[in-house]
Homo-oligomer: A and B are copies of this chain.
Amino acid sequence: MAIMKIDVYSKTMNRTVTLEVIAPVEALKPGDTMAALYLLHGVQGSFINWSTVVHAFRLLGVNNATRTKKLAIVMVSGDNSFYHNAPDRSANYEQFLAEELPLLTRAMLPLSAAREDTYIAGLSMGGYGALRTGLLYPQVFGFAGGLSSALLTQRIEDAVDENVFFRRREFLKTVFSCELDGIEKTEHDVMELSHRLLTRIEAQRRGEEPIIMPKLYLACGEQDALLPLSRELHAEWDKLGIEHRYEEHEGNHEWAFWEWGLGQILKYLSE
């Protein structure tokens, strides 16, 4: 297993960014490609969280041993952007994740370009970002997974708290680039996006663009204050008949839960 730290210029971010990659390169034969899992951290974090605090390296090793197709993990920093574009600052995280990063990493590393081999997942803010990005770009991602997802846009007024920096009204308005009262029916909301994508998929059955739903994974800790939001989304997906795997498990909004969760995602991807 190789661990790589890469500084490279990003056109959508308009600056040099750092990526971290963990990949079973020693096991590759000439011409082999790997599937890719892009992992998004939470508020206050950075790309280092997955390799230092969660067992990404060890979990990936164990799971690669049993896979038919090798898997690489790519970790990026999303600052506290909720993985939305910040057009006023020319730092476009959504575009970076969906448009630039897959191409850039495939130019560097032997990664499969197939949708079925391209996965995105995250924790907390990154869980929201992964589900949103996966549903917005189903032609790119074959899987989207959220752990303890900060699905704040489902009930945005409940999220506002002037004592927590990332819950301040001003912060949320800036991050989502809009007033908060309209947010629930925009593409900033995972529930709304699920509806829209379903509609697009149904439309295409009558002869239009070939889009399919990504595989979806949702999990949350039983002691996590964000649990109601995951339950809501799970219920909505059930109601809409959107296939997904849903798990609740012992744990709070904490590293031990995310380690368990990453393990579950890796197992699911190797099924």
A→B interface (CB under 8 Å): 1-9, 11, 14-18, 23, 25-26, 28-30, 32, 43-46, 48-49, 51-53, 55, 57-58, 77, 79-81, 86-91, 103-104, 106-110, 113, 165-166, 168, 170-171, 173-175, 255
Can you report 17 residue pairs joining A to B where beta carbons are below 8 Å apart? Answer: A2-B9, A2-B108, A3-B8, A14-B165, A15-B44, A15-B45, A15-B79, A16-B44, A25-B108, A30-B103, A51-B51, A53-B57, A53-B58, A88-B171, A88-B174, A89-B89, A90-B165
Q: How many copies does the complex hold?
A: 4
Let me know if B46 and A15 touch, CB within 8 A.
yes
Bound-state Cα–Cα, A117 to B3, Å: 26
Q: Is the CB of A4 within 8 A of B5?
A: yes
Which 6 pairs between the two chains have the least Cβ-Cβ distance?
Answer: A16-B46, A2-B8, A88-B174, A52-B57, A28-B107, A90-B165
Q: Which of A4, A104, A109, A255 has the most CB of B within 10 A?
A: A4
Task: Give which listed residue, B44, B52, B58, B174, contacts A9 with CB less than 8 A.
Answer: B44
**Whole-angstrom distance from the CB of A55 to the nearest CB of chain B?**
7
Cα–Cα, bound, A88→B48 (Å) = 25
CA distance A1 to B174 in the complex (A): 29
Contacts of A5 in B (CB 8 A): 4-6
8 new A-B contacts, CB < 8 A, other than A4-B4, A25-B104, A28-B108, are A3-B48, A5-B5, A8-B26, A25-B107, A30-B113, A53-B58, A89-B171, A89-B174
Residues of B within 8 A of A109 (CB): 108-109
**Complex-state Cα separation, A98 to B139, whole angstroms:** 42
C-alpha spacing A18/B229, complex, angstroms: 33
**Do A8 and B25 touch (CB < 8 A)?**
yes
Choice from B3, B79, B107 contacting A110 with Cβ under 8 Å: B107
